[in-house]
Amino acid sequence: MMYQIEKLDHKGRGIVRNGKIMFVANALPKEQVEIKITSEKKKFIEAESTKIENLSRDRCTPNCVYYFQCGGCNLLHMKYESTLKFKENKVKEVMNKFVGKSIKINDILYSKDCWNYRNKVTFHTNKKIGYYKKHSNDIIEIEKCNIADAEINRILHCIQSSIELNSIDEIVIRKSKYTKDSMVILKINGKTDEQNIIQNLKDKTTSIILYQNKKYKTIYGTDFILEKMDDFVFRISEDSFFQINTETAILLYKKILEYITPQKEDNILDLYCGTGTIGIFLSKYCQSVTGIEINESAIQNAKENARLNHIKNISFLCKDSSKAVLGLKDIYSKIVVDPPRAGLDKNTINYLKNANADRIVYVSCDPVTLARDLNELSGIYNIEEITPVDMFPYTHHVECVSLLCLKEAPQAFIK
């Protein structure tokens, strides 16, 4: 039986309404599809297309032999320009539905590199190396990943051809775009031949680290790599967060800088600051920056990053942001928040409502939780505009940067 696809859901799946709503992978609006059901729930069905007619103009041939099995990407069957339009529309739909106010949504900032953009990849192992199959823990062995940095693929090939995998559960490879540093982290479950690993990988990577029993052990090189972004150098440790797409992260940070409009007298609060990248980008334009982050390794990196860049007016606090805000005494004229996917908690929302900051810039990786939080803040702040950012090409994920201005002291945003 053929079904016609109405539109796409927020994960990029085609929607069919036939009694229960059906979400169909690899299907585009107005296409006619035959399907195979992969999962049936009480209120909806998940399916895959097995035959497609009346092909959409937005469709292209996936540039990956693993695409229809692998769970990594889900929009490779769409032209890149079409994925950008999909993400723009998704943000607009979410804001219209959950915020219910007329919010200016700017054109999406697209990724200059839509291939080989990932600077960090996690591979799973089980006598072979690859990614998990869709809806499964079965591993699809791969020779290369088209969205991973080319050097990551070269290191992967070296590991596949020379390293014994019996005691290795997972392989994480990080690669710096501008310094050319790289790091290999092997998560192991038993004894392994360290010298063999070093001998085979030392000419391919800057750093080799073993992870076992929740502890890291550097067996070659340093326990960090360096990355350069604009005029700044950043230190990245084994477990610290760093934006996956370096080139597009620079565009993101420049948009934050544009929105926050720092002045020399501003004291800026940077919540969920990670390794301090955003705060460091802002620091030379303001009086001070205070960064708060729960991850101890990230805070250590942040302090080192400030030292590496000779920045004196930034300080960092290692604490859960939701608890830290309860004890903040200083007044901050501008605030940046970049929370995890779950968004802001009640403590942080209440703090922001009472902070009396001229501007808040909210960076989000989930438009739905962003919309929820903007609703909470909209009584105190005007939601001036949102700029989507394509941090993860060929996936359904989209980053958003939102500008909020205090209603009692409105400051028109001037580009």
Q: Is 73 a catalytic residue?
A: no
Q: Tokens 């919309």 label which residue?
A: 371
Planar angle of CA 187, 198, 122, nearest 5 degrees: 30
| Per annotation, catalytic residue among 273, 365, 400, 405 | 365
**Considering only CA atoms, which of 3, 1, 29 is closest in space to residue 14?**
29
Pair of tokens at residue 44: 């909806």
CB-side exposure of 77: number of CA atoms within 13 Å?
17
Burial 26-39 (b: 16+ CB within 10 A, else e): bbbeebebebeeee
Taking the C-alpha atoms of residue 2 and residue 53, their distance in angstroms, rounded to an integer, is 9
Tokens of 405: 């201005």
Supply the residues annotated as catalytic: 365
